[in-house]
Amino acid sequence: MKEYGTLAIIATALMGAVLVVRAHNTELTRFVDQRPLVGGSVYLLLNVFDAVLAPGITLPLIPVAARAWGPMPAAILTTVGWTAGSLVAFLIARRWGYPLVRKITSIERVKRLRRYLPEDLFWSVVLLRMVMPMDVISYVLGLFTDMKWSRYVAATALGVAPSAFVLAFLGKLTHGYELITFGIGGAAIVWIVISSRHRGRPPAMRPLGHAHTNR
């Protein structure tokens, strides 16, 4: 229940952020449009931060980017940022293990998701990226698998790209902020349902035989 409460708080904060960004949409769009290099760099770094520590923090900014640069550039930059941030999280887990990961994210969620790692990692990562918070699955894969970083990057990019493109094109629409707000709420509900079902039944997949047991 504590985790669900935290998730609800995060979802509420994100929806609030959407409303704040919407209220200042004109000023933000003008800033990004007039300073494309600075705006692009800040946006990219925020997306990296999003994937490492704060899933969803850049969602309210996607419409700003889409209206300033167009949906396609915004989607590409979002995909690059999310992928780069996910790689950072993956390498943190692979290099420093539990001691650092437990300071960054919920170690309980990380341990629970370990049981559901499938043997066909590549396409499973692609699918997982479409429905699960990026930071958690990055740490799980870094801690418990020996997946090569090149395959990890490719699978992550394929998995996050659809969401990035959909959100960028939605952000260009008149009611883009409302659609993204409903998307955030829907994603939170899906995550709660998935967590509840997994928590209430034994694992259907065995842990990987080559998982890192010394982490």
Question: Structure pTM?
Answer: 0.74
Within-domain flag for 58? yes
Question: What is the pLDDT confidence band of residue 209, given thresholds at 50, 70 and 90?
Answer: very low
Residue 215 is assigned to a structural domain of this protein:
no
Residue 206 within any structural domain of the chain? no
Place of tokens 């490492």: 52
pLDDT band at 41 (very low <50, low <70, confident <90, very high): very high
Residue 33 belongs to domain spanning: 2-199
- Number of domains into which the chain is organized: 1
Q: Is the pLDDT of residue 157 over 90?
A: yes
pLDDT, residue 114, reads 75
Asked, for residue 207, whether it belongs to a domain, the answer is: no
The 8 Å CB, 24+ separation contacts for 9-14 are: 10/56, 10/188, 11/184, 11/185, 11/187, 11/188, 14/56, 14/57, 14/59, 14/60, 14/184
**Between 26 and 93, where is the model more confident?**
93
197 vs 51 pLDDT, higher one: 51
